[in-house]
Amino acid sequence: MDKLLVRGGKKLSGEVIISGSKNASLPIIISSILFNNDLELGNVPKVKDVYTLINLLKLLGKNSVFEQDNSNLKIFNIKNNKYLAPYSIMKTMRAGVLVLGPLLAKYGKAKVSLPGGCAIGARPINLHLYALKKLGAILSIKDGYVEAKVKNGLIGNKIRFKKISVGATECAIMSATLAKGKTIITNAAIEPEIIDLIEFLNSCGAKISWGKNRKIIIRGVRTLKPVKYNVIPDRIEAGTYAVAALITDGKLLIKKVNIAHLDSTFNVLKDMGAKIKIFTDSFLISRNKKLRPTKIKTKVYPGFATDMQAQIMTLACLTDGTSVIKEDIFENRFLHISELLRMGANIEIKKQKAIVKGVKNFNSAEVMATDLRASVSLVLAGLSTKGITTINRLYHLDRGYEKIEKKLKLCGADIQRING
């Protein structure tokens, strides 16, 4: 298996161009199931999760190819529609479960394996199933698969989620787009990636409105007509490279971002000692001489993103003082802590809180990634050491970060992928 060798101690400087959002691309690509015609998407990141989804869609009757040397993804309807999403693919990517709603909306039936993905918590799909039942689906779970059918098409209804869920909101939106009548979703997630899905579907003829009160109204349409659409930039990737600049005491110009999506990350980084100069679609980041500790709690958007928690914790390890980081989204998202401890961190876990006492520096070590964001936190820690950090199990890193070695090398990092 591949490994990363990170020879740290180098201040990063230069420019980083941010890729399209993985978390926005996946549901938009999945929504291609709703279309009769071919579709073209721009700014799609070439990451493992996208390629896994391409393989899944091929089994469901859609061929997908990237244009050479760019991020345009073309999706073709090969008119060989099938309705089975097998465990062999679903075990590696949780977002694959989102095909359930579009398959049901388009063809009236689906059989989808229960999902896999990162080991960061239970993340049950009960809210997905609740939404589909409200729209008239008949569901059963057998042998690790969800089997769904509907007799005369999905029917619009009122859906109120007991808990805010990104995946369930995306499922409900896609399912209701072709349903008969009006669907009202309340207590919906409103992450930028969800708004991007809505804007994409609306550009293709859907009738979806939303407000800041977490209400989404969908008036079902019969068909969708595809248009070329560019996916939003990846706000988590942008935040990750911002931390890379600070943890190496470097200076980076981070380009092709949506500044409005980075408010909560900027607030935390400024509090920790970052100097940020904001431009139209880019920002310049460096730090003051000393990093300061922080106190944060992960929340649903527009609160602080759980996907930035591991990166901020890694930065907090090098501050002068004690930070408190509370994880309120997933119950098992501190798996990176054991690996950071191997590198000399001083972290104590109290239920869903991490008490991080700053140390002077990390020590180089051999470590292992446990999930997507944990893997990049180890890269960040390795960048700040003076020795060689070896990172194993790069599968998770490749799921969400496009060309991370190349981007870091262009900024002066000494990082190398080897076959282990």
Q: Are 77 and 35 in contact (CB under 8 A)?
A: yes
Residues 6+ apart with CB under 8 A from 134: 157, 158, 159
Dihedral (CA of 63, 104, 115, 169) sign: positive
Placement of tokens 């729209």 in the chain: 135
Alpha-carbon distances of 399 from 48, 69, 261, 371, rounded to whole Å: 4, 19, 21, 9
b/e string for 4-23 if b means 16 or more Cβ within 10 A?
bebbbebebebebebbbbbb
What is the H or E stretch that residue 316 is in?
Answer: helix 309-316
Alpha-carbon distances of 147 from 111, 112, 124, rounded to whole Å: 4, 7, 16
- For residues 197 and 52, what is the distance between their CA atoms, to the nearest angstrom? 19
Which phi and psi angles does 199 have, rounded to 5°? -65, -35
Q: Quote the tokens at residue 15.
A: 């420019």
- The set of catalytic residues is 118
HSE at residue 7, side-chain half, CA atoms within 13 A, is 6
